[in-house]
Amino acid sequence: MGVLLSDAHVDLPYLLREKRFTGPWRGLKEGDLTLEEAGRAGLVFFISAIYLEDRYNGPLSLLHFRDTLRYLDSIKEDTFLVRDAASIEPEEGKIKTLFSIENADFLCDEMGLVEKLREKGIFVLGLTHCGPNRLAEGNLVLYGDGIKRDGRSVLKGMEGEGLILDLAHLNERSFYQALDLFRGPLMASHTGIREIYDIPRNITLAQAREVMERGGVVGISINPELLWEGGCIPMERLYASIDILVQAFGPERVCLGSDVCGFQGQGFSYSDTVSSLKETLLDKGYGPATYEILGGNLIRFLKESLPKA
């Protein structure tokens, strides 16, 4: 049985931007996620992250956002753009996507854009990347005040628009403040688990519990930086990051959030990594839960969270 794969965090726009590639996705022949590689992996749905770099935070962030949007057209031509809960259902021969924001600093300069994000296919929003911005504080900020005034306004606007909050990059203070301020759907799209690898970028089991008890999903990343101090992907660490969540909370709210295209890996193959992870889970006795973790759980969460047709 093959994998019908869904992925909660793919940095494809960043890959295209770095290569200055503006053709359709099928024309991309180099990089960790060509259209052919997505097919080999069994990818049927992914959240495509619009990563906005911290170095542009401030007056340049709105221009950086608008410039990055141009690269989404390369993806749209070869995918089906999800607009509501009904349209996310997997279909043979189609790869479906919707977009997320990773670092929403630009909204400080045009708050009204919150109401227009869904028109652009953007349904998931993370307030920060790693550093601080005008909304909140990312995982590199060990101390601080947390969610800022404009961040509170953005969260209120997101809730009104039915957008999904991505908690993945918030530091702990901002993370818990966001839980208090925001009552809409939420997720941690791509992360590791601190009980497996204790770095500020990862979340704790206590944080994972908060997400899951609110009906959200936790996406485990294959990025080796979130798994250990080495350079390749340690399959046992990747498995352990999934298994510790499953043993604590069950498999229903665990998914893959690979961060593919967002990290550098020597000799890395997305399809081979997914295949190895599938075999590892099956060998460990996960059975049908393997396919839910790699595919069905994220789809089900989005069916619950996206607007109805």
Residue range 74-84: average pLDDT? 96
Backbone conformation region of residue 233, classed left if phi is above 0, alpha if psi is from -120 to 50, else beta? beta
In 235-269, where does DSSP find H-type helix? 235-249
pLDDT of res. 103: 98
Average pLDDT, the chain: 96
Label residue 275 exposed, middle or buried (CB < 10 Å: 0-12, 13-18, 19+): middle
Share of the chain above pLDDT 70, in %: 99
Residue range 267-283: average pLDDT? 95
Residue range 112-118: average pLDDT? 96
Q: For position 241, which CATH number holds?
A: 3.20.20.140
What contacts 180, CB < 8 A, 6 or more positions away? none
Share of the chain above pLDDT 90, in %: 94
pLDDT for residue 210 is more than 50: yes
pLDDT of res. 2: 64
What contacts 54, CB < 8 A, 6 or more positions away? 103, 129, 130, 131, 133, 138
> What is the span of the domain harbouring residue 61?
5-305
Q: Which residue's entry shows tokens 């990089």?
A: 31
pLDDT for residue 291 is more than 70: yes
Computed on alpha carbons and rounded to an integer, the radius of gyration of the chain in Å comes to 18
Q: What single string gives the DSSP state of each residue in 142-200? A: SSS--S-HHHHHHHHHHHHHTPEEE-TTB-HHHHHHHHHH--S-EEEEEE-BTTTS--T
pLDDT of res. 1: 46
pLDDT of res. 44: 97
Rounded to two decimals, what is the model's pTM?
Answer: 0.97
pLDDT for residue 265 is more than 80: no
Number of structural domains the chain divides into: 1
Q: How many CB atoms lie within 10 A of CB 62?
A: 18
For 124, phi then psi, to 5°, come to -125, 140
